[in-house]
Amino acid sequence: MNHTNIEIKARINNPDRIQGVLRSHKADFKGTDHQIDTYFKVSTGRLKLREGNIENCLIYYQRVDQAGPKQSDVILYKTGLNSPLKQILTQSLGELAVVDKEREIYFIDNVKFHIDRVNGLGLFMEIEAIDADGDIGKSKLLEQCHYYMQILGISKKDLIINSYSDLILEEVNARIT
């Protein structure tokens, strides 16, 4: 399944307030998922296998690393638990990084919200305005992302440029040097 996202990632220190805002806007809480994302070595974009209780899929995406809302072009392939896919990808491509997190998942229409507790990194919020079939358009997705940043109180100084895998690799490199 191919789709386009406009998304942000931000450090947070107020998950209870964010949960309250999401509830007050009638967000549909899908649950809390313990997810292990294994990133693989690829020549372009990012390839990760997500293993969780709610979400299990192989995800390939390309996006520019920048602060603020950014476009991601995503290809998803739904997988099952205990798939041999991880072993195949590890042996053929090699692992780049592993991200272990607890993720609260919410939806308001086509917008997905995550409150993430990432082992070794801390608390984060993600907003993904999703155009699953090309009907919404980039400008509307961008508008949605900005709107939810404002009502959730996410400021530009809180925004993260990179993926969790990049942050994990920075932590590992900092310990080595």
107: containing domain? 2-176
- pTM score, whole prediction: 0.91
Counting the structural domains of the chain, the total is 1
Per-residue model confidence (pLDDT) at position 15: 96
Percentage with pLDDT > 70 across the chain: 99
What is the number of alpha carbons within 13 Å of residue 64 lying toward its C-beta? 7
Kindly report the CATH number assigned to the domain that includes residue 88: 2.40.320.10
In whole numbers, what is the pLDDT of the chain averaged over residues?
A: 93
Beta-carbon contacts of 160 under 8 Å, excluding residues fewer than 6 positions away, are: 9, 10, 11, 67, 124, 167
Locus of tokens 């919200």? 113
Are 124 and 118 in contact by the 8 Å Cβ rule? The answer is yes
Tokens (6 digits) for 86 = 């991880």
Q: Per residue in 45-89, pLDDT tens?
A: 999 999 999 999 999 999 888 778 998 889 999 998 888 999 999
Q: Per residue in 132-167, pLDDT tens?
A: 888 898 899 999 999 999 999 999 999 999 899 999
Per-residue model confidence (pLDDT) at position 143: 95
Query: Residue 177: which pLDDT band, with cuts at 50, 70 and 90?
Result: low
Query: Residue 96: which pLDDT band, with cuts at 50, 70 and 90?
Result: very high
